[in-house]
Chain A
Amino acid sequence: MLILGVESSCDETGLALYDSDAGLLAHALHSQVAMHQEYGGVVPELASRDHIRRVIPLAREVLAQAGRELNALDAVAFTEGPGLAGALLVGAAFAKSLAFALGVPAVGIHHLEGHLLSPLLSKRPPAFPFVALLVSGGHTQLMRVTGVGNYELLGETQDDAAGEAFDKTAKLLGLDYPGGPAVSKLAESGRPGRFKLPRPMIGSNDLEFSFSGLKTAVMLLARSQPGDAATHADIARAFQDAVVDVLVAKCMSALQRTSLERLVVAGGVGANRQLRAGLDAAAARQGFEVFYPELELCTDNGAMIAFAAALRWKGGLPKPDTTFSVRPRWELSLAG
């Protein structure tokens, strides 16, 4: 089964070709980061305007890379939600119309399902069941995953997502958008222990998160300290230590509560090196296994969308349905 995947939920246009026999054949991405940088964050209308310029060139790129023709496609998969409505609609309109013209089905995929199944695309794929930690710019969730389409929410953030906390901290420290990679780079040169920030909800007897207080604590700390580079690095380090501690503690707690042995990490923050080191160390101590997607598939991409569709429709594709709509807000547990 050959599937073209189209991701356009936020500020990345991703196209990919996945073959259920041969695996991932090609994927191509255009990131709008540079365009939004000037505005200090994603401008939804500009994101939509850019997606529509990128989709066809990227589609051509993956077809050429894979050496396949359009008429070999069995389906087109697109991100139906959650995400920015206008951005999602670009992908949906293109995917549905292309599929209609080719006489194949177009299937809508939940963006987070794409993320959380993406580690199965790696060289060392996890087996079901597992606990999934989804940490991205828009989400911080722990899920129990017992199979494709079986996702149970165990806990999630009550306010900001972890990636959002990274981005806001970056802004406070005068770093460019998107802040995650910048804060994490700065933190690597920071000294641990000079500042101590709170670890919100680390002791709460549940799997919920909260990161908005941490952002405020960073703001107060930055204000009370000199603005030299070393101090900023130490603040970044204190911030990252706090986030990583909370994420690691909640993951370990989720594994214990569910009696599961495998943890799967997905989403942009999953690229964070200190988080990976912290999870690996804690897991080794407690006898769990941790799985990550390939680094290039941590952030939004079309490969995970094509792949999720291939898994979901393994037993046979649905009949073509030519209506399209998107779901900017969509609970993953309801997508099963």
Chain B
Amino acid sequence: MNFAAIETATEWCSVALWRDGEILSLERRAGNRQGEFVLPMLETLFRRANLGMADLDAIAFGAGPGAFTGLRIACGVAQGLAFSRNLPVIGVSTLEATAEESGAARVVVALDARMHEVYYSAYEKRDGGWLAALPETCVAPEMAEIPPGAGWIGCGNGFSVYADRLGPRLAGRLERIAPELRPSASAVARLAAPRLAAGEGLDAALATPHYIRDKIALTSSEQGKGK
């Protein structure tokens, strides 16, 4: 099985190619300019792997949560690529991909969600896969749910941006923190591979970002009440 993976939920632009179990990847800091880099980077990977679109069986993407525009770039690119040949698409949680980067077995992930909140979850390694120990949420760091037991590794930039609030909140639970860990396309690819093999890929039209933060505007009647 061969497939491409794209992860642009943070200010990084990260792409990977899965070639029968082997991963080639490229990433760079892109700010909010992922559109300028994502396809040229994929082109480079195709060249290195000596693969083309015709050799792909699926497309995977980091579905979020993360920067809204970045999520739509990953999803839109996945849709465009997949639609060209009716390939299945799979969206992978950006938080889970961050956990996957850690190499640890018990991981709390907190990614900066701006507006004094983090995208937050916790995962435990079970039978080679990740089991969600906490639901994915968007939450103020000081309100974050505390994972059970100890020995957790705190991953993601939420642990540096909100160090003063997440640290005290998770006191006693964390073994160490790794704020520098971020979601990558190769992690997305590793998580996607077994799911694609199990036939979990969807039609490209059904590929959708997972925003979590869904209340983004007030209706006219809600605006009226606020006055």
Contacts and interface: CB of A to CB of B under 8 A. Distances in A.
Nearest to A98: B80
Task: Identify whether the interface residues of A are mostly helix, strand, loop, or mixed.
Answer: helix
Given A96-B39, A97-B39, A101-B53, A56 B83 contact: yes
Interface stretch (A46-54, A180-188, A272-280, A295-303): A46-54
A255 interface: no
Contacts of B36: 323-325
A99 B76 CA distance: 12
A90 B207 CA distance: 13
B60 interface: no
Q: Which of B39, B85, B216 has the most CB of A within 10 A?
A: B39
B79 to A, nearest CB: 6
B84 A102 contact: yes
B5 to A, nearest CB: 14
A315 interface: no
Nearest to B211: A49
Given A97-B76, A98-B84, A48 B204 contact: no
B209 interface: yes
Contacts of B75: 52, 93
Contact of B72 (A89, A103, A325): A89
A59 B205 CA distance: 10
Contacts of B40: 322-323
Contacts, number: 112
A322 B80 contact: no
Best-surrounded residue of B43, B68, B72, B218 (most CB of chain A within 10 A):
B72
* Interface residues of B, dominant DSSP: helix
A64 interface: no
Given A98-B83, A102-B84, A325-B33, A93 B77 contact: yes
Contacts of B129: none
Interface in B129-173: none
Interface of A: 38-40, 43, 45-46, 48-49, 52-53, 55-57, 59-60, 70, 85-86, 89-90, 92-103, 322-326
Query: Which 9 A-B residue pairs are closest in the complex by CB-CB distance?
Result: A97-B80, A93-B76, A101-B84, A322-B39, A56-B205, A98-B80, A40-B220, A324-B35, A43-B217
